[in-house]
Amino acid sequence: MDGLQIRGSIPALVTPFRGGAVDFDALASFIEWQIAEGTTGLVPCGTTGESPTLSHAEHYDVITRTVEVAAGRVPVIAGCGSNDTATAIAHMAHAEKVGADAALIVVPYYNKPSQAGLIAHFTTLAERSKLPIIIYNIPGRSVADMSTETMAVLAKLPTVIGVKDATGNLARVSAQREACGADFIQLSGNDDMALGFNAMGGIGAISVTANVAPKLCAQFQAATLAGDFRTALAINDRLYPLHAALFSDASPGPTKYALARLGKMTPEVRLPICEPSAASKAAVDAGLAHAGLL
Please tell me which residue in 136, 256, 257, 264 is annotated as part of the active site: 136
DSSP one-letter string for 45-75: SSTTTTGGGS-HHHHHHHHHHHHHHHTTSS-
* Residue 136 annotated among the catalytic residues of the structure: yes
Contact by Cβ (8 Å): 275, 22: no
Write the CB contacts of 136 (distance below 8 Å, at least 6 apart in sequence): 46, 81, 104, 105, 106, 107, 163, 164, 166, 189
Question: What are the beta bridge partners of residue 18?
Answer: 21
Rounded Cα–Cα distance for residues 69 and 33 (Å): 11
* Residue 109 annotated among the catalytic residues of the structure: no
Question: What are the beta bridge partners of residue 17?
Answer: 22
SS3 117: helix
Please tell me which residue in 60, 164, 257, 281 is annotated as part of the active site: 164
Instruction: Classify the C-alpha dihedral 135-91-247-195 as positive or negative.
Output: positive
Indicate which residues carry an active-site annotation: 136, 164
